[in-house]
Amino acid sequence: MRVGHARFCLSPRDTTFYLIGYRSEKRKNPAEGIHDDIYCNSLLLEIGQEQLFIFSADFLEWEDEMAEEIKSMLSDKFGINRDLVLVCATHNHSSVMSYHKHWHTGVFDSEYYEFVMDTVVKSYEECLGSLTETTVRAGSQIITGYYSNRNHPGQLADNEVSVVQFINKDGVPICGLVNWAVHATILGPNNNKLTGDLPGQVCQKLGKYWGYYPAFIVGAAADCSNRNDRQGDDFAELERVSTGLAEAIASIPLTNELKFGDIHYETLCHTIHHDMREVHEDALKFIQKVEEDKLDPNSTVAKMPLSALINKCKSILEVPDYHLDIKFSVIHLGDVQIVTFPGELGSRFGIELKQGIPEFGMIAGYSNGFHHYFLPREEYGLSFETIGNPVPKGEPEKIVEKMMQSSMLLSNRYGIH
């Protein structure tokens, strides 16, 4: 197997820009500058006649339209299979807004959009030019103390961090992947300086440990953040957490020697179409509870800004029906499987998927688009993510079941046993 890698800066230069992420009043004003640059890190895996390209950027999310344009552009220009292009975001809530066409307060910048598209091409070309024969080592470890289940204080989310490292013929690590499941929300909504936040800062620090900057792939992080572990929401806290996490990740033993076989994949689709009556009923019940002061004072929801939740419920009442055709995939690479999803899966699903995948499993959420939160049925009504969520109860379970079935079929047919 040959692997190539690339890294480019994505910070806007010499122009006014806005931050994306929190829906705070401060973010309606132009950004106050750049605290640290944001980047994209890319990998190109070439196995036989097939290639898998992974482009990971310090962005909040990718709109479907842009992700599809990138996939078609690379396919037309270089011949790579569209289904084997992963356009990933680190879900950075202190990133740039300029590339996003439909952010609610956005000022779309067509020049920056084209800059990003050009950078994708340059990244692929640099990966292509640096293709090197490699072997692979990997390891995983549960890391605690910095983030956890944000809706259930005292409980872990998917705290497992996986590292995949590619090593050249001289035994030198040249590139790699870090797969974790946590929101990049160390900094709060009052920050208005561009930064890579948690993944960006951890990546920078891992570069000093490993001699290369890994691509970060965020997994099932819908209900995982530092909310219950934080000691602040400023750059001092970012330094503390990123330093601790980088040290912990760099210490993960990479004892698994992985063999990459031919690339096989299934691209799956799930359709959601309903009239929203149940969602509207739940939203009305929540508004009534708030108005009658009947919320459990110890619940996670009761500790959130209730006005924002009520506004969210009122807005969903104006949506008469909901239709979504969502695409995701399972990619089989010999000893490795990658499950991709264009949204935020609950951590329970991430754990179940990785436990059920016969091979070394990685979850790539926030990939090739973005659609809402997808949490387990029992979580509905307990958190900001599920109150007023147009995705009905039980649909996420159906999606995960499709993923598991595809994973087992690919493993049984192509697994290295």
Q: Establish if 349 belongs to a structural domain.
A: no
Q: Establish if 274 belongs to a structural domain.
A: no
What is the secondary structure of 255-299 as a DSSP string?
-EEE-----EEEEEEEEEEE--HHHHHHHHHHHHHHHTT-S-TTS
Question: Rounded to 5 degrees, what are φ and ψ at 284?
Answer: -65, -40
Q: Establish if 401 belongs to a structural domain.
A: no
Residue 417 is predicted with a pLDDT of 52
Residue 304 is predicted with a pLDDT of 75
> Cβ–Cβ contacts within 10 Å for residue 265, how many?
20
Tokens, residue 309: 């939740």
Residue 25 is predicted with a pLDDT of 85
Q: Are 254 and 163 in contact (CB under 8 A)?
A: yes
Residue 416 is predicted with a pLDDT of 63
- Helix 347-356, helix 395-414: angle, nearest 10: 20
Q: Establish if 277 belongs to a structural domain.
A: no
What's the Cα-to-Cα distance from 314 to each of 276, 288, 374, 384, rounded to whole Å?
13, 12, 20, 14
Place of tokens 């946590």: 182
Q: Establish if 152 belongs to a structural domain.
A: yes
Q: Establish if 318 belongs to a structural domain.
A: no
Three-point CA angle 37, 339, 224, nearest 5°: 55
Query: How far apart (Å, rounded) are the C-alpha atoms in residues 8 and 100?
Result: 19
Series of mean pLDDT values for 10-residue runs along the chain (417 residues): 98 93 88 97 96 98 97 98 98 97 89 98 98 98 97 95 98 98 94 97 98 98 95 96 98 96 96 89 88 82 79 88 95 97 97 95 97 93 86 95 96 80
Q: 41: closest CA among 24, 58, 65? A: 58
Query: How far apart (Å, rounded) are the C-alpha atoms in residues 150 and 228?
Result: 6
| Sign of the four-CA dihedral 352, 371, 35, 124 | positive
Looking at the structure of the chain, the number of domains it has is 1
Q: Establish if 367 belongs to a structural domain.
A: no
Query: How far apart (Å, rounded) are the C-alpha atoms in residues 91 and 198?
Result: 10
Tokens, residue 94: 């202190």
For 84, the domain range is 2-258
What's the Cα-to-Cα distance from 399 to each of 225, 336, 363, 378, rounded to whole Å?
23, 21, 14, 16
Query: How far apart (Å, rounded) are the C-alpha atoms in residues 87 and 120?
Result: 10
Q: Establish if 26 belongs to a structural domain.
A: yes
SS3 content of the chain, % helix, strand, coil (to 5): 30, 25, 40
